[in-house]
Amino acid sequence: MNILGIESSCDDTAAAVLTPEGVQSNIISSQLVHEAYGGIVPELASRAHHKTISRTVQQALDQADRSLSQMDAIAVTQGPGLMGSLLVGLSFAKGLALANGIPLVGVNHIDAHMYANFVSQPPVYPFVCLTVSGGHTRLVHAEAPFSYKVLGRTRDDAAGEAFDKIGKILGLSYPAGPEIDRLAQGGDPSFHDFPKAMLGEGLEFSFSGLKTSVLYYVQEKGKAFVEANMENICASVSEAITSVLAVKLRRAVKETGVEVMLLAGGVSANSMLRNKVEKVSRDLGVELRVPPIEYCTDNAAMIAITGKLKAMRGEYDGPDLKPFARLESR
């Protein structure tokens, strides 16, 4: 099956071509316009998607050396995400599908992060997956394709959102996750003991208390102190976030008894998280899978693989396919 994947849920316009031989192209056009605002401006995101989507899709086809007529399905992100951004990708995909008589498949963006693990490796069940991105933090127990139970999710900020918002408080530019990760590698994680919410119980997450705690800490210590100790503070913040993630993943694996755990989403690039999760894998003797980094952050190859898995089950959509901004609003 040849699949064209299209992703536009947030601030990356992406298109990819997946064939039986693997991913032939994975084009990502990132929007730099938001950096000056310290966060994503939805209206600007939609406009930027609109400007680049046609070019991005064409580039994906060109690089894959395939034409649209060779595609067996078009997979597109249906949600969750920014409504205006989703509408651009969805309308574009519907137009392409209708005009060329190609079947359409709507894809859930968070599921796609999880199934990104199956882009380069064959699917394996059952598994526990920790998905950590800028918009979502979710622990899932899957027993079969598209049959899973959500074990826990965040009650407030997502893990990536926590990194980004705390980075803003520390004076770092958006998105701050990768920069905090880099700085943390030169710092002492035990420099300051930031709160690790809900560490001892259950499988839910909460990161907004940590954000407030860092804000008070910065206000109390002052700018000069923060700048002089940036590496140590970043290491301590990373320690707080990643230890909660790793502890809950360990608990979920133990409770479900699975032999495979998956990591997914942009935050799975975090080096401290990777170290901790690798230790969980060694301690419990459980296989750990993490997608290559280009499939961890927002991309369309993950949309294409999820679309393929749905298409193989005969799950196609029509021109009435609707976007959904939040999972719950579906």
Q: Is 135 in the site for ligand KG4 (CB under 6 A)?
A: yes
Question: Which of Zn ion, ligand KG4, none does residue 170 bind to, with CB < 5 to 8 Å depending on kind?
Answer: none
Beta carbons of 60 and 90 less than 8 angstroms apart: no
Q: Is 133 in the site for ligand KG4 (CB under 6 A)?
A: yes
Selected binder of Zn ion within 13, 77, 131, 133 (CB under 5 A): 133
Q: Is 298 in the site for ligand KG4 (CB under 6 A)?
A: yes
**Site residues (CB under 6 A) for ligand KG4, limited to 192-221:** none
C-alpha span between 46 and 85 (Å, rounded)? 5
67-94 burial, b at 16+ Cβ within 10 Å, e below that, comes to eeeebebbbbbbbbbbbbbbbbbbebbb
C-alpha span between 54 and 93 (Å, rounded)? 10
CB-neighbour burial class of residue 235 (10 A; exposed 0-12, middle 13-18, buried 19+): buried
Q: Is 181 in the site for ligand KG4 (CB under 6 A)?
A: yes
Question: Which of Zn ion, ligand KG4, none does residue 178 bind to, with CB < 5 to 8 Å depending on kind?
Answer: ligand KG4
**Site residues (CB under 6 A) for ligand KG4, limited to 10-69:** 10
The residue (of 10 and 263) whose beta carbon lies closer to ligand KG4 is: 10
**Listed ranges 60-68, 160-168, 195-203, 280-288: which one lies at the site for ligand KG4 (CB under 6 A):** 160-168
Report the 10 Å Cβ neighbour count for 171: 12
The residue (of 154 and 236) whose beta carbon lies closer to Zn ion is: 154
Q: Is 298 in the site for Zn ion (CB under 5 A)?
A: yes
- Name 76's bridge partners: 6, 106
Residue 77 Cβ vs ligand KG4, minimum distance, rounded to whole Å: 10
Strands 260-264 and 127-132 turn out to be parallel
Nearest to 4 by CA among 310, 313, 300: 300
The residue (of 177 and 189) whose beta carbon lies closer to Zn ion is: 177
Q: Is 8 in the site for ligand KG4 (CB under 6 A)?
A: no
Element holding 265 (H helix, E strand): none
Selected binder of ligand KG4 within 42, 145, 178, 209 (CB under 6 A): 178
- Name 138's bridge partners: 131, 153
Contacts with Zn ion by CB under 5 A lie at 133, 298
Contacts with ligand KG4 by CB under 6 A lie at 10, 133-135, 160, 163-164, 175, 177-178, 181, 265-267, 269-270, 297-298
